Structure 1
Amino acid sequence: MNRTTRALAAVLGAAMLVITGCGGGAGSGASTATELVTTQGVPAAPTGTLRYATWQETPSFDPPRTTTQNGPVIFPVYDTLTSMDENFDVVPWLATGWSQPDPSTWRFTLRDDVVFHDGSRFDAETVKLNLERAKTVTGGPYTNIYAPIAEVTVLDPVTVDVAFSVPSPNFPYSMATVAGAMVSPKAVQDGTDLTRNPAGSGGWIWEAGEHREGAQHVFRANPDYWNRDAVKAETVEVKIIQEDNARLNATQSGQADVMATLQPGQIEAAESAGLRTLSDFTITASFLIMDREGSLVPAFAEPKVREAVGYLLDREAYNMAVLAGKGESASGGFAAPGSTWYDPELESLRQADVDKARQLLAEAGYPQGFSFQVGNQPVIKTVNETVAQLLADGGITMEIVDVGQGQYTAEVRKGHFPAGYFVPTSIDIDQWWTRTVSNAGIYNPFDLTDLADLDARYAEGAALSDPPARKAVFDELQRATVERGVLFPLSQIPRSAGLRSTVHASQQPVFAPEDIAPRPFHLWAEQ
């Protein structure tokens, strides 16, 4: 049994996906029955059932309205504009290539052989329709991606220009996530309610009659798929199992083949049971204070209170309690060690100091502390309980409130909670800023403008072509985010999924940095 190893790198550096477990890693050149990537026994036609265990139901099959956490039920039925390889480099999918005719424009060339499940065809007009429609979605999870789009211009049926009001250097990367999933033009034009009527062109077709809300989705292989070599499983079945141990038990017992969101403390148990693990450091566990003007919790309007929170969030204690010591608690910033954006000088920022925190709370007028609420889902219960214990050392009471399945980010975006736990990417600094931190991002339900100067600084950095100069700007932004009491890093955490040894792949599966499980392309399971 190989021990788990992880590469620490970045999409703009040298991020690597590590596959461990019985039988060795992918790409080793051998082809034993226990390996994931193999040239032996590859099905000539889709065969069998590939079963996933994921932790939440999607609130909608409309891509602009569902989060990346719901990828397991989105990727079988939808194609994205781009995709990613094992090094997290953006690669062709519906788009065959892209370039920048000017710093504020991305030009995409497209496939001409893609047909949606409803018979409509994919072309440049489809991209324009999707992006313009997505830009109008209110309160969606990808506002930071769509809002800067100024104009989408069709040059010919297979060429489209996407122009931005501000530079968007990571847009091709974003188009490889759920945000880049393309919806049928017929469905858009007909005003179809996509909540439970997906309208994609993906490798599998959703079976409405086999759906059990909150429990199961079933997809069947698309016989007219443009990329038939990527579809190896005849059926993809996605089971919704909220509790972490139940999800692992289902995979170990053979009720599921692929487990999404394998928790760090489960990795050794999973590998001991013969599962492979896909694991890397691409996300930062973080605590975000959104109510910085005190609309719900007056205490949070005090800078010294927010500073005190930073001193109470003991990163080493968090790492041991939540991640079984498998995180990278030393990093004070939000970038993965070894990545382009990592700044070692941030490691000492806000070291745990309970006495300092109590002093700051007293100076701010809260010597006895205060209380506030955060939202909760089963998958983050241990996180919330640990953060609550850390804050309690300073007299702060954090009340944990359960929300409906799959509704955590929606409740946050509605302004129902003043603060909470988030896992922004640690390898794409643009996505980290524009989605999670910026006043223009999706986690500003109180319409704050307190980071206007930092947003302007970000825009300056995004426009820079000199890498060291650009990095210097993002070093400033990471430091300012902590010093102003906006977002606190808790740990770099292993992003992991588990696979039974009966799962194989004809080539390296797609497991993009924001995915919670490998996508079903190229995968099949022994029956």
Structure 2
Amino acid sequence: MTNEITRRGMGALAMGTAALLAGKVAGPAAALAQGTKQLRIGLREDPDIMDPTLARSFVGRIVFCSLCDKLFDVNEKLEIVPQLATGYKYEDPKTLLITLREGVKFHDGETMDAEAVRYSLMRHLTMSGSFRKGEIGIMDTVEVVDPKTVRIRLKAPSAPFISQLTDRAGMIISPKAAEAAGKDFGAKPVGTGPFRFVERVAQDRIVVERFPDYWDKGRIFLDRITYQVIVDSTVRLANLRAGTLDLIENVSPTDVKDLKDDRRIKLEIGDGLGYNGITVNQNNGEQSKTPIGQDARVREAFDLAIDREALIQVVYEGMFTPATQAVAPASPYHDSSRKVVKRDVARAKALLAEAKVPTPYKVEIMVANSPEIRQSAEVIQSMVAEAGFDLQIKAVEFASGLQAAVRGEFQLYMSAWSGRPDPDGNTWAFMHSKGPQNDGRYNSPETDRILDAQREETDPEKRKELFRQLWAQALDKDHFRSYLWYLKNIVAHSPKLQGFRPMPDGMIRVQDLKVG
């Protein structure tokens, strides 16, 4: 009865909030010229900084798809295809030659050339606070051969390097704008994408408008895109049904059954590349000096106390798959021989006793302040309590949580990673002692060795074996992290939206999109 009352109350709240948001979304649109073709996209979170060098959020990547083209992209089959580049070749295993597209302009009117590519790549590599350094740290220098050719010299052969250039590490920004703005570049980014930045209202919206000099303008049919931040999934869905949004990039699994029968909505579901998991603070400041941060037995006990399949059934209608590693089943590098960690409360209690940890042992987990994630944390809270953990939940705004994680202001941190086509993109930055997204400062010389070795190994079978060694060390021995479930891309949109292509990476490409 309580659940039903809550559901009805949430429904009424959602519709009321939708009505308020409708006015907020429609407000800017009302001022547009008659006939303006506008797309309104609902985001689950407010993106972090809109600077491709410093950014790390999934929803930020969605916005970047309209603002910043990359040297390369991936297609529906995760094959690498040229974008700002026209092609590449290796002159030797450590020397890469990339040719660039003619006629590309930045939003400030400057020409994109080899010098702009050199500037952008070196900025990604050397800028203080860069999250791209861990992705392209194997890069040594970038040389301008001529205005449309760059030569990249690597410190060693690198299997994933080109794949890294299909995302933020491959985004090229205007050197003139970046130098003028300095650390404030993210407040008004200038790239080469089909849309240019107009405004951002924190926790509310980001607005972009069509760039008339875009190099591939024949595939752009929209005049403006508004990315509307709506954290509550029920409210996002209510806005879509009310017609104040055209697309929502994340649908709650609990809504999928209902939506399948709704003719007003088109539903797109596909396997993703990412995962949700729990990072443990082991070496990042004062909050790492805890039993769970310092003792692998306590981390293993926590992991054993979680029933992943039950968690997924309760919160996500059984739609997700329990995770066994950082590489999703869609990847050829996924190790299918690994089994899901089975819940074993007795063993968890024994490990806590062996580690001489008094119970109930109080530990805090930081989570994003969204209904589904909070509910996931509450289910885990109940599960681990049976093993002797007193789990305290700290819900924070998403971008604030990312910043707090970097500063080490957490003991446990539940977060998701959207995944990358190459497994290096799911591992090195999070597991290597020098990884920029290794928020818990996990440090294992053996893990570092394996991660560095897989980057240089070009034989797929030998590389797979290195990843098997990685899981044995980092997960089975060190228990550095708990992987919980693999993500699915669940997108809903109006039937009036045409040209949408579901992609494994979950990004919303704006090319070919039309609003009927």
- Residue of structure 2 equivalent to 1:372: 363
The answer to whether the Cα contact below 8 Å between 2:114 and 2:150 also exists between their aligned partners in 1 is yes
- Residue of structure 1 equivalent to 2:479: 485
| AA matched with 1:159 | T
Change (3 A) 1:195 1:335: closer
C-alpha distance in 2 between matches for 1:454 and 1:133: 28
Higher mean displacement: 139-148 or 287-296: 287-296
- Residue of structure 1 equivalent to 2:319: 326
1:247 aligns with 2:236: yes
5 Å matches for 1:149-160? Answer: 149-160=139-150
Please report how far the alpha carbon of residue 435 of structure 1 lies from its aligned counterpart in structure 2 after TM superposition: 1.9
5 Å matches for 1:281-360? Answer: 281-291=272-282, 295-296=286-287, 297-300=289-292, 301-329=294-322, 331-337=323-329, 339-347=331-339, 350-360=341-351
The answer to which structure, 1 or 2, has the higher relative contact order (CA under 8 A, 6+ apart) is 1
C-alpha distance in 2 between matches for 1:172 and 1:251: 37
Please report how far the alpha carbon of residue 234 of structure 1 lies from its aligned counterpart in structure 2 after TM superposition: 1.4
5 Å matches for 1:28-177? Answer: 48-69=37-58, 70-177=60-167
Change (3 A) 1:68 1:157: farther
C-alpha distance in 2 between matches for 1:478 and 1:427: 18
Change (3 A) 1:108 1:166: same
C-alpha distance in 2 between matches for 1:316 and 1:99: 45
Please report how far the alpha carbon of residue 405 of structure 1 lies from its aligned counterpart in structure 2 after TM superposition: 4.5
The answer to whether the Cα contact below 8 Å between 1:94 and 1:111 also exists between their aligned partners in 2 is yes
The answer to whether the Cα contact below 8 Å between 1:167 and 1:459 also exists between their aligned partners in 2 is no
5 Å matches for 1:337-486? Answer: 337=329, 339-347=331-339, 350-379=341-370, 380-424=373-417, 425=419, 428-445=422-439, 447-448=441-442, 450-483=443-476, 484-486=478-480
The answer to whether the Cα contact below 8 Å between 1:109 and 1:160 also exists between their aligned partners in 2 is yes
Segments of structure 1 that go 5 or more residues without pairing to the other structure are 1-45
C-alpha distance in 2 between matches for 1:385 and 1:480: 30
Please report how far the alpha carbon of residue 240 of structure 1 lies from its aligned counterpart in structure 2 after TM superposition: 1.0
CA deviations over 1:396-453 (Å, ceiling 9, x no partner): 12222233342222211111112222334275311121122222212334655x3121
| AA matched with 1:340 | P
- Residue of structure 2 equivalent to 1:237: 226
Please report how far the alpha carbon of residue 93 of structure 1 lies from its aligned counterpart in structure 2 after TM superposition: 0.7
Change (3 A) 1:427 1:110: closer
Tell me the SS of whatever aligns to 2:187. Answer: coil
Q: Over aligned residues, Cα RMSD in angstroms?
A: 2.3
Please report how far the alpha carbon of residue 362 of structure 1 lies from its aligned counterpart in structure 2 after TM superposition: 0.9
| AA matched with 1:315 | R
Change (3 A) 1:154 1:490: same
- Residue of structure 1 equivalent to 2:217: 228
Change (3 A) 1:166 1:308: farther
Higher mean displacement: 244-253 or 165-174: 165-174
The answer to whether the Cα contact below 8 Å between 1:100 and 1:107 also exists between their aligned partners in 2 is yes
The answer to whether the Cα contact below 8 Å between 1:290 and 1:444 also exists between their aligned partners in 2 is no
TM-score (norm 2): 0.85
- Residue of structure 1 equivalent to 2:31: none
Higher mean displacement: 231-240 or 64-73: 64-73
CA deviations over 1:312-353 (Å, ceiling 9, x no partner): 122212221232111122x533333353122232115x3210
Change (3 A) 1:293 1:307: farther
Change (3 A) 1:177 1:266: farther
Q: Percent identity among equivalent residues?
A: 24
Tell me the SS of whatever aligns to 1:106. Answer: strand
| AA matched with 1:511 | M
Segments of structure 2 that go 5 or more residues without pairing to the other structure are 1-34
CA deviations over 1:439-495 (Å, ceiling 9, x no partner): 2212334655x3121211222233223221211111111232211111222122212
The answer to whether the Cα contact below 8 Å between 1:461 and 1:473 also exists between their aligned partners in 2 is yes
Tell me the SS of whatever aligns to 2:87. Answer: strand
Change (3 A) 1:247 1:195: same
CA deviations over 1:37-95 (Å, ceiling 9, x no partner): xxxxxxxxx96111100022233221112224112332222212211211121111101
Change (3 A) 1:405 1:468: closer
- Residue of structure 2 equivalent to 1:29: none
The answer to whether the Cα contact below 8 Å between 2:71 and 2:165 also exists between their aligned partners in 1 is yes
C-alpha distance in 2 between matches for 1:96 and 1:359: 59
The answer to whether the Cα contact below 8 Å between 1:284 and 1:423 also exists between their aligned partners in 2 is yes
| AA matched with 1:55 | R
Please report how far the alpha carbon of residue 307 of structure 1 lies from its aligned counterpart in structure 2 after TM superposition: 1.4
CA deviations over 1:193-248 (Å, ceiling 9, x no partner): 2132121121112223xx43321222221111110122111111111111111112
The answer to whether the Cα contact below 8 Å between 1:85 and 1:510 also exists between their aligned partners in 2 is no
Please report how far the alpha carbon of residue 112 of structure 1 lies from its aligned counterpart in structure 2 after TM superposition: 1.9
| AA matched with 2:122 | E
- Residue of structure 2 equivalent to 1:27: none
Tell me the SS of whatever aligns to 1:406. Answer: helix
Tell me the SS of whatever aligns to 2:66. Answer: coil
TM-score (norm 1): 0.84
1:263 aligns with 2:231: no
Please report how far the alpha carbon of residue 354 of structure 1 lies from its aligned counterpart in structure 2 after TM superposition: 0.7
C-alpha distance in 1 between matches for 2:73 and 2:330: 23
